[in-house]
Amino acid sequence: MEVILKEDVANLGNRGEVVKVADGYGRNFLLPRKLAMQATEANKAVIEQMKAAAARRSATEKAQAQELVAKLEPVMLSFTRKSGESGHLFGSVTAADIASGLEAQGFDVDRRKIQLSEPLKSVGDYHVAVRLHREVTAHVKVRVEAESTAETSPAEPPTEEVAAR
């Protein structure tokens, strides 16, 4: 099945391209989500207009992404998690955690744009890539710290007074 992509699809193609995909992938995924349309002669004529509009839209998106990069570069996110003595976290810091941390600082970044090959599972400083546009990538500094636990002595059992008889 040949389809014309309406949006950029990872590992498939960019907006406006005519690509050949499996029938089920096109019919069950791309078409219902409005990511593509069937490549008919009428649609191929429409695609030329879409390419011009897409080029303008891509240019504005790229400019907005570059502005956002300038704002994101100085950002330092800090996460505190429980960890073992060796600095290995009991949990992890995921792309969703980073996205919510950026949202708390006023940046609207989709978690899927955060490029983590695997969640952060140890204490330390990291540089995490955020792909804002296919040509623009920002890097955010992320610090993962161990949760400070105050050394508490084990609770002493309450003393009971025994009445002498």
CATH (residue range 2-60): 3.40.5.10
Calpha distance 134→85 (Å, rounded): 40
Per the listing, tokens 């207009």 go with 49
Calpha distance 96→126 (Å, rounded): 16
pLDDT tens readout for residues 95-120? 999 999 999 998 888 888 999 988 89
Alpha helices in 73-156 (DSSP H): 95-104
Please tell me if the domain spanning 2-60 has the same topology as the one spanning 73-146.
Answer: no
Residue range 140-159: average pLDDT?
66
Domain ranges in the chain are 2-60, 73-146
Look up residue 13 and give its DSSP letter: B
CATH entry 3.10.430.100 includes domain 73-146: yes
pLDDT tens readout for residues 114-147? 999 888 999 999 999 999 888 889 999 999 999 8
- Both tokens of 25, joined, read 């992938």
- In percent, how much of the chain has pLDDT > 70? 89
CB 46 within 8 A of CB 54: no
